Amino acid sequence: MTVSVVIPIYHSEDTISACIESVLGQTFTDWELILVDDGSTDGSGRICDDYAARDRRIKVVHQENKGRSEARWRGVSLATGEWVCFVDSDDTLPHSALSLLCGSISKTTDIVFGNGYTLRGEERRLIPMSEFRHLAVRGEGTIGVPWGSLYRRRVLTRWMFDVPRRIYNGEDYLFWLRLVFATERAVAVVFEPVYNKGEEHTSNIFMWTSDYCYELNELRKASIPIEMHDDYMLDMLDDRLANLFAVAVCEKKNKWKGSRYYQDIIDDMRISGMKMPMKKRLFFSLPSVRLRKLYSLISNTIR
């Protein structure tokens, strides 16, 4: 078995059939499909069981609700393929997705990154890990989400999925941080589209707070070897500022500006010599959430 496709499922009865069908319709056929029903109380579990009864390549496991990270790890622990591919239950794979991803497999890489077209200005099909780590820490493109890529199963460990349950937005980014520091091998990149993203729910309604981002950043720092923090400080600051932008359109200024999260960013910018661009300073100087939301909608400079 070459690829184990792992799908975590929770209350997905309206989308899971299309998701499974997209795996069944792959032009690449050397795969197994592991469906992890994460405590669904709708018809998701029954739909999974029906598919498994019709195709022996499909395995189903039902568990109490533990969250997406734990569900993915459960799938990995049951996988027998040399490579693992994650798919979310409200998404689908283009017919040639696994063929394109597996076409970049080699003996000298542990990660095949899909949807490489999302990386700004990047055209290489093989990126040294020393460079790819900087992209990962900044969360470039679709680095930071587990779907749409291949991972050699032997490099996936429990640690990569061990995130507090209360961290349910940004946990995928932590997975990537822990992954890229677990191997030294170059990353193969597929530039063709290999993933169809369904309607986004969590990130669209999530209310970012400075307290949440502070905890997320502490987990970020713990995911990067401490002796390498200086090497990746500017990259960490880049992503922390992106988080701060999200906080600033959700939280009142006196709250986030008085937070430890904000103060840590300012302190680290001073130490590293990083300067905030004028347009970003203007954004943060706006007095109300309403004005910052308006500014973020009309300005392409806010990331």
DSSP assignment of 161-198 = H---TT--SSHHHHHHHHHHTS--SPEEE--S---B--
Closest to 32 in 3D by CA, of 67, 78, 94: 78
In angstroms, the CA 149 to CA 190 distance is 9
| Of 73, 38, 36, residue with least CA distance to 179 | 73
Instruction: Answer whether 154's CB lies under 8 Å from 194's CB.
Output: no
Per-residue pLDDT tens listing for the chain (303 residues): 699 999 999 999 999 999 999 999 999 999 999 999 999 999 999 999 999 999 999 999 999 999 999 999 999 999 999 999 999 999 999 999 999 999 999 999 999 999 999 998 888 999 999 999 999 999 999 999 999 999 999 999 999 999 999 998 999 999 999 999 999 999 999 999 999 998 765 556 789 999 999 999 999 999 999 999 999 999 999 999 999 999 999 999 999 999 999 999 999 999 999 998 898 899 999 999 999 989 888 765 444
228 vs 241: CA distance, rounded Å: 20
What does pTM read for this prediction? 0.93
Let me know how many helices (H) and strands (E) the chain has, helices first.
Answer: 14, 8
If phi > 0 it is left, if psi is from -120 to 50 it is alpha, else beta; for residue 280 that is alpha
Please choose, from the candidates 189, 203, 173, 213, the residue with its C-alpha nearest in 3D space to the C-alpha of residue 131.
Answer: 189
- Taking residue 253's Cβ as centre, other Cβ atoms within 10 Å add up to 16
Residue 112 and residue 100 in contact, taking contact as beta carbons nearer than 8 Å: no
Task: Identify the CA nearest to 147 among candidates 93, 109, 220, 199.
Answer: 93
